[in-house]
């Protein structure tokens, strides 16, 4: 009988942060990675500009939008529906305070 080994990458939750250009979320990405490490959560967090949404969305388990692109929420939800990827907006307070732990918890709650 063959033993099946799982690649840890497939057990990892992949979180995409989306903002205007992918730059303003870079600090939040780092805070989320730190929070995940302290909680022993297996996650991959990446940031992209909204212009890269269509080419990236299928590669992620959840997408969170920065406040500056929240106006795109309904449109991006429709575009992500094809891949069954939830899309939600990050709380402006959590974004402004760079609360990586809270944003991470929110992202993980959307994949449960």
Active site residues: 19
Q: What is the DSSP string of 61-105?
A: SEEEE-GGGGGGHHHHHHHHHTTT--EEEPPHHHHHTT-HHHHHH
């Amino acid at each position: 009988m063959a033993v099946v080994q799982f690649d840890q990458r497939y057990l990892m939750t992949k979180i995409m942060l989306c903002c205007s250009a992918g730059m303003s979320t870079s600090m939040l990405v780092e805070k989320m990675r730190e929070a995940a490490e302290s909680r022993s959560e297996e996650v991959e967090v990446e940031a992209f500009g909204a212009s890269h949404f269509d080419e990236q969305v299928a590669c992620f388990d959840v997408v969170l939008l920065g406040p500056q692109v929240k106006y795109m929420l309904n449109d991006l939800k429709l575009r992500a529906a094809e891949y069954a990827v939830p899309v939600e907006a990050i709380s402006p307070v959590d974004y402004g305070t760079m609360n990586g732990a809270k944003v991470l918890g929110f992202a993980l709650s959307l994949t449960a």
